Amino acid sequence: MRFGAFEVNLQARELHRRGLRLKIEEKPFQILAALLEKPGQLITRLELRQRLWAPDTYVDFDRNLNTAINKLRDTLGDSAENPRFVETLSRRGYRFICPVETAKGVSPAAAPESEAINSIAVLPFENASGDPEVDYLSDGITESLISNLSQLAGVRVMARSTVFRYRGRVVDPLAVGHELRVHAVLTGRLVQRGDTVVIGAELVSTDSGFRLWGEQYNRKLPDIFEVEEEISREISERLRLRLTGEEKKRLTKRYTQDAEAYRDYLKGRYCYFKMNQDGLAKSIGYFEDAIQKDPHYALAYSGLADTHGLYGFFGLMPPREAMPRALELSRIAVSLDDGLAEAHASLASIKELYEWDWVGAENEYLRALELNPNYATGHHWYADFLSSMGRSEEAMQEIHTAQELDPLSLVISMEVAWNWYMARQYERSLEQSLKTLEIEPSFTPAQHTLGLAYLQLAKHTEAIGALEKAKEDSNGNPVAVAALGHAYAASGEERQAKRALSELGKMAQHSYVPRYWSALVHAGLGHQNEGFECLEKACEERDAWLVWLKAEPRFDSLRSCPRFENVLRRINLFP
């Protein structure tokens, strides 16, 4: 029987909450069983006395019953004043008021055979240790399970950025399942004590509410691989998947045999996903430590490649310094493990952003998605590739696939708006930007796409307002400064546009600033010669943002000039 987050096995006399067995004394359990037999109905104190105590047994009945009821409420986290489960009917008895589900003829730990489960969300495992330093481990186990299950054909697995929106929140798995439109939800919690880890996990059907599976593991840290493998196997069995031999290998694949290297990798990814300069710097150190411990660790090479790629893309380092290292690392990752989707996606992005090898990049994206059709990031990156090529219809298909896999991702939601903008569907871009900002009003990239859409719709006042906010919220990021400068130029405010150019010039004296952004402002001002000088310099610097040159509407004023064709030839984008 199931109610709320609890399950009761009357035969085994066990009470579970989210897969973890609770301690409950005999009398409180007997009271619970009696109440569950007639949910919603009054169970009198006399009935309970006759059921729980033999007629010839002398006890202080009232006091003992009250004590047992209080212990039951403590176990359930219930209260007499505001009951969710056990309601007191004054001087008469008690009534169980929570909806109760029963599985007639079926073990409470098993779902009905008729249930078809082809989608799952792995919610972030709770770090119950009380130590933030263990967050990397609870997050890492979650990500590993997502990665393992994503290898399975015919199962839709929610992506990391969607499920991590629930991190640190008390949630109802059934409500989350309905929100994400998945058939099953996996929850778990972790406690680390010294070199021992206690992990509890529970798989729940969101259609019936049945607990499909639950287990608790008590293992040493080096045995964490075995726990992940066992959970992955159990889930595949409970989802009734018929796996091929190759899928079975992928499901329990170990990317390293070194537990210390694995923990360094988890710490590296944990820092990487902070997406700030300090986090990226720390992630490099952890990934390098993992590689030092296991030189054949392909995932660590792929993570390190992604970090160096972001250094080049975000302008934290000149592309000619960051990108060759990223290219080398991604090639090593592929050579070590050709079946690793992340490695192929990493290589694809560098081939696109740095080598301008468009055919090679597309082949690598397709290989990554062949290996892992549930790879939301792969669909997202491939959508941007297609968009930059002007293949708008295909791009929208890919970005919507990414959004289905990662529906709560702010980045992907914004990328839908960006792809509509590149497809010159400005009303749709505007609508999607507003949808994203409804979810998170302070999300700067969506303010950026909102401003761009307004600008192309000739709503100059609204565009400048949105882009000014994007600049303010991003602390004067060059992307926002250039976008605002171009908007000022398009609105006829030449002095303000030139001020933006001056800002970009001052930034470039202290750090790398892509010339692409200065070219954008010059294009808005109608300064063709200065604009092309910046674009040609950007080609020499291997500026990553040049991938958008073919499709970007803000460069339309330069397209009719032969010099524009020459720039496209230099980056292999002119037929």
* Domain over 2-96 is classified CATH 1.10.10.10: yes
The C-alpha atoms of residue 257 and residue 263 are separated, in whole angstroms, by 11
Q: What is the DSSP letter of 158?
A: -
- Selection from 155-159, 424-428, 570-574 with the highest mean pLDDT: 424-428
Check residues 119 and 364 and name the one with the higher pLDDT.
364
Q: What is the DSSP letter of 114?
A: T
| Amino acid symbol at 356 | W
Q: What is the average per-residue pLDDT within 247-273?
A: 85
Amino acid 111: pLDDT: 39
pLDDT at 11 over 80: no
Confidence of residue 106 (pLDDT cuts 50, 70, 90): very low
Is residue 141 within 8 Å of residue 190, measured between CB atoms?
A: yes
The C-alpha atoms of residue 485 and residue 504 are separated, in whole angstroms, by 10
Q: Nearest 5°: CA angle at 247, between 265 and 361?
A: 60
Q: Where are the domains of the chain?
A: 2-96, 119-251, 255-373
Instruction: Give the percent of the chain with pLDDT over 90.
Output: 52
| Strand bridging mode 126-127 / 184-193 | parallel
Confidence of residue 521 (pLDDT cuts 50, 70, 90): very high
The Cα-based distances of 575 to 514, 543, 552, 566, 572 in angstroms read 25, 21, 17, 11, 8
Q: What is the DSSP letter of 520?
A: H
* Count of C-beta atoms within a 10 Å radius of residue 409: 23
The C-alpha atoms of residue 371 and residue 508 are separated, in whole angstroms, by 41
The C-alpha atoms of residue 450 and residue 458 are separated, in whole angstroms, by 13
Amino acid 55: pLDDT: 62
The C-alpha atoms of residue 322 and residue 319 are separated, in whole angstroms, by 5
pLDDT at 58 over 70: no
Amino acid 57: pLDDT: 55
Amino acid 114: pLDDT: 41
Helix residue ranges, H only, 296-425: 298-313, 319-336, 341-350, 358-371, 376-388, 392-405, 410-422
Average pLDDT, the chain: 88
pLDDT at 105 over 60: no
120: Cβ–Cβ under 8 A, 6 or more apart, which residues?
Answer: 149, 155, 156, 157, 158, 182, 183, 184, 185, 186, 235, 239
Amino acid 502: pLDDT: 96
What pLDDT digit, counting tens, does each position of 464-512 carry?
999 999 999 988 999 999 999 999 999 999 999 999 999 999 999 999 9
Query: Phi, psi at residue 94, to the nearest 5°?
Result: -140, 160
The C-alpha atoms of residue 377 and residue 240 are separated, in whole angstroms, by 27
The Cα-based distances of 296 to 290, 293, 323, 337, 373 in angstroms read 10, 9, 22, 9, 25
Q: Nearest 5°: CA angle at 179, between 132 and 79?
A: 65
Class of domain 255-373: mainly alpha
State the DSSP H helix or E strand holding residue 500, giving kind and residue range, or none if neither: helix 494-508
Instruction: Give the percent of the chain with pLDDT over 70.
Output: 95
What pLDDT digit, counting tens, does each position of 109-158 carry?
333 444 557 889 999 999 888 888 889 999 999 998 998 888 877 788 99
Asked if the domains at 2-96 and 119-251 fall in one CATH topology, the answer is no
Confidence of residue 463 (pLDDT cuts 50, 70, 90): very high
In sequence order, what DSSP letters do the residues of 269-284 get, joined into one string? HHHHTT-SHHHHHHHH
490: Cβ–Cβ under 8 A, 6 or more apart, which residues?
Answer: 455, 460, 524
What pLDDT digit, counting tens, does each position of 315-352 carry?
888 999 999 999 999 999 999 999 999 999 999 999 99
Confidence of residue 65 (pLDDT cuts 50, 70, 90): confident
Nearest-10 Cα torsion for 349, 353, 354, 360: 50
For tokens 């000739």, name the residue. 458
Confidence of residue 218 (pLDDT cuts 50, 70, 90): confident
Tokens of 497: 């546009």
- Selection from 24-28, 35-39, 118-122, 385-389 with the highest mean pLDDT: 385-389
pLDDT at 209 over 80: no
Amino acid 59: pLDDT: 58
Is residue 265 within 8 Å of residue 285, measured between CB atoms?
A: no
Torsional sign, CA 103, 104, 108, 114: negative
The C-alpha atoms of residue 285 and residue 281 are separated, in whole angstroms, by 7
Q: Which SS3 state, helix, strand or coil, does residue 173 take?
A: helix
Amino acid 360: pLDDT: 97
What pLDDT digit, counting tens, does each position of 379-414 carry?
999 999 999 999 999 999 999 999 999 998 999 999
For tokens 């069995």, name the residue. 237
Q: In this structure, which topology does domain 119-251 adopt according to CATH?
A: Rossmann fold (3.40.50)
For tokens 């700030």, name the residue. 276
Q: What is the average per-residue pLDDT within 444-452?
A: 96
User: What's the full length of the chain, in residues?
Assistant: 575
The C-alpha atoms of residue 188 and residue 118 are separated, in whole angstroms, by 20
Q: What is the average per-residue pLDDT within 552-568?
A: 95
The Cα-based distances of 21 to 17, 197, 215, 216 in angstroms read 6, 17, 9, 9
